[in-house]
Amino acid sequence: MRREAAWEYLKGALWALPSVAVVLALVAGSVLASIELPQGSPFDRLLFQGTPDDARTLLIGIASTMITVIALVLGLTVVALQLSSTQYSPRLLHSFVRDRVNQVVLSVFVATFTYSTAGLYTVGISEGRRTDDFPRLAVTGALVLLFACLLMLVFFVHHLVHSIQVDEVMRQAERHTLHVIEHDLPTEGVTGEPVPEPPVWAVGLPSYSSGYVQRVHPEVLLRSAVAHDVTLAGTTMVGEHVIAGSPLVWAWRASPEQAPPDTTELTPVLRDSIRVGFERTMEQDAAFGVRQLADIGTKAVSPAVNDPYTAVQAVQHLAVVLAALVRRPLGSQLLRDPAGSIRVVVPARDLGYYLDLACAQIRRSGARDPRVMRALLRGLHAVAGFTAVDADRAMIAEQVRLVLAESERAMSQPADLEPVRRHADAVLRAVAG
How high is the pLDDT of residue 44? Answer: 67
**Model's pTM, two decimal places?**
0.87
Q: Which residues, 6+ apart, have CB-to-CB distance to 319 below 8 Å?
A: 378, 379, 380, 382, 383
How high is the pLDDT of residue 368? Answer: 93
- Could you tell me if 318 and 379 are in contact, meaning their C-beta atoms sit under 8 angstroms apart? yes
How high is the pLDDT of residue 252? Answer: 95
Residues of the chain with pLDDT under 50: none
How high is the pLDDT of residue 348? Answer: 95
Cα 352 to Cα 287: distance, rounded to the nearest angstrom: 12
How high is the pLDDT of residue 303? Answer: 87
Which H, E and C letters describe 17-73, residue by residue? Answer: HHHHHHHHHHHHHHHHHCCCCCCCCCCHHHCCCCCHHHHHHHHHHHHHHHHHHHHHH
The structural domains of the chain, with segments of one domain joined by +, span 12-164, 166-353, 367-433
**Three-class secondary structure of residue 206 per DSSP:** strand
Report domain 166-353's class: alpha beta
How high is the pLDDT of residue 34? Answer: 82
